């Protein structure tokens, strides 16, 4: 979750690439991820870490660059729970200005976690 090289391999919806990941994983540190859709212009997400408690929890603000008119800054909280042979991930993000923006993020997170699961084999 905090290794930029590995993060670039699973982050984002299917078909997207991540040419650059810059972050300082500590409370108060910044995050900025470049995302390249298959057919479209490069864009970024950025934010600041609020909580950094490895290996179990991190929280950060999330905003798009450039923002969609319906975007607002949200807070992402990711908790990892050791279940022995597996790790369970709990993700919360919100609040969103519209249901459409929420659905966009839900789809992106689903694809990202599917890609992460494939990467971990």
pTM, full prediction: 0.91
What is the pLDDT, as a whole number, of residue 36?
97
CATH number, residue 77: 3.30.530.20
pLDDT truncated to tens, each residue of the chain (121 aa)? 788 999 999 999 999 999 999 989 899 999 999 999 999 999 999 999 999 998 899 999 999 998 889 999 999 999 999 999 888 999 999 999 999 999 999 999 999 999 999 998 8
Task: Quote the tokens at residue 20.
Answer: 């650059």
What is the pLDDT, as a whole number, of residue 2?
81
Count the domains in the chain. Answer: 1
Note down the domain range covering 96. 4-120
Question: Which residues touch 111 (CB under 8 Å, ≥6 apart)?
Answer: 12, 13, 14
């Amino acid at each position: 979750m905090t290794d930029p090289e590995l993060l670039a391999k699973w982050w984002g919806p299917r078909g997207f690439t991540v040419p650059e990941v810059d972050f300082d994983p500590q409370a108060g540190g910044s995050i900025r991820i470049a995302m390249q859709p298959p057919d479209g212009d490069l864009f970024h997400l950025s934010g600041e870490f609020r909580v950094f408690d490895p290996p179990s929890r991190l929280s950060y603000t999330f905003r798009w660059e450039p923002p969609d008119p319906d975007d607002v800054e949200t807070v992402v909280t990711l908790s990892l729970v050791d279940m022995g042979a597996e790790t369970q991930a709990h993700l919360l993000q919100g609040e969103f200005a519209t249901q459409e923006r929420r659905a966009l993020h839900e789809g992106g997170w689903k694809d990202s976690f599917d890609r992460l699961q494939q990467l971990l084999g």
